[in-house]
Amino acid sequence: MNYTTLSTEARGPHVLLVRLDRPQVLNALNTQMGSDLYGLWTRLTAERGDTRCIVLTGAGERAFCAGADLKERDGMAPAVWQAQHELFERGFVALMELPVPVIAAVNGHAYGGGLELALACDFIYAARGARLALSEVRLGIMPGGGGTQNLPRAVGERRAKELILTAGAFTAEEGAHWGLINRVCDSSSLLNEALATAQAIAENGPLAVRQAKKSIHYGAQMDLLTGYRFEIEAYNRLVDTEDRREGVRAFNEKRKPVFKGS
């Protein structure tokens, strides 16, 4: 996978490491990165190959992603701005609907669209000392990458209103206290911890993981009984699979299962 603004690297047989790779501008999201991300997520949806889990991080030590590239946007005509944003929108949606789990390893500051990118992942590990914010209202705009939807789902409506309307920054530790961040790590161990979790996910039945992710993601948008019926539909698709049979055999034979994704 060759991209102008991203680097990709296989880490083990089933784990893919993706880096936002514009460290000279704090991995700011420009049009090319928007195109690259959209292309990557759609490709992995259609042709995931052996990939069972993804870790998304930023290049360098200072930032995960500083948000949209405002130098590129300076003087941008409204029609061009909106066309660029539509590209970003498609990328955010493709990430949120990606069947493969994605862990955000927030290695430094994450502002605006950078935090929205992390929020669009399945969960977040963050480096100690990282600061995060949805700071768009300071620029006369508002979050447009799912921030007004994903942040309140993570921290509650009232805290999300406070954070978005004040544009205030918060620490990784505060984010963990609020339930936004799953784990705060030392900078030196962040990536290894995220990759270890990705490997643990990748060792489980890939069909089961994808169906469970889908059930959690879409079920959370339904009432309880409708969500449960959605869960059962997802569950029943796993019954007549070789992975399910292999899992039961391996348990009874007291060995590690070898899942094939079929």
**Which pLDDT tens digit goes with each residue over 79-91?**
999 999 999 999 9
How many other CB atoms sit within 10 Å of the CB of residue 105? 28
What mean pLDDT, rounded, does the chain reach?
Answer: 97
Q: What is the mean pLDDT of residues 136-143?
A: 97
- Is-catalytic flag, 116? yes
pLDDT cut 70: percent of the chain above it: 100
Flag whether 258 is in a domain.
Answer: no
97 is catalytic: no
Q: Are residues 167 and 196 in the same domain?
A: yes
Strand spans (E) along the chain: 6-10, 15-20, 53-58, 63-65, 102-106, 109-111, 123-127, 131-133, 170-171, 183-185
> What local confidence, expressed as pLDDT, does residue 36 receive?
98
Say whether both 113 and 236 belong to one domain: no
Q: What is the CATH number of the domain that holds 71?
A: 3.90.226.10
Encoded tokens for 247: 């899992």
Residues 140 and 19 in one domain: yes
In this structure, the answer to whether residues 135 and 165 fall within a common structural domain is yes
pLDDT in tens, 244-262: 999 999 999 999 999 999 9
Predicted confidence at residue 115, as pLDDT, reads 98
The length of the chain in residues reads 262
Q: Are residues 74 and 177 in the same domain?
A: yes
Same-domain pairing of 57 and 180? yes
Question: Which structure tokens are listed for 185?
Answer: 């790590």
- Give me the residues paired with residue 18 across strands: 8, 56
Give the count of domains, the chain: 2
Range of the domain at 111: 6-202
Domain termination residue (choose one: 160, 185, 202):
202
User: Choosing from 61, 86, 116, 162, which is the catalytic residue?
Assistant: 116
Kindly state whether residues 80 and 149 are assigned to the same domain. Answer: yes
Report pLDDT for 2.
86
Structure confidence by residue, pLDDT tens digits, 205-239: 999 999 999 999 999 999 999 999 999 999 999 99
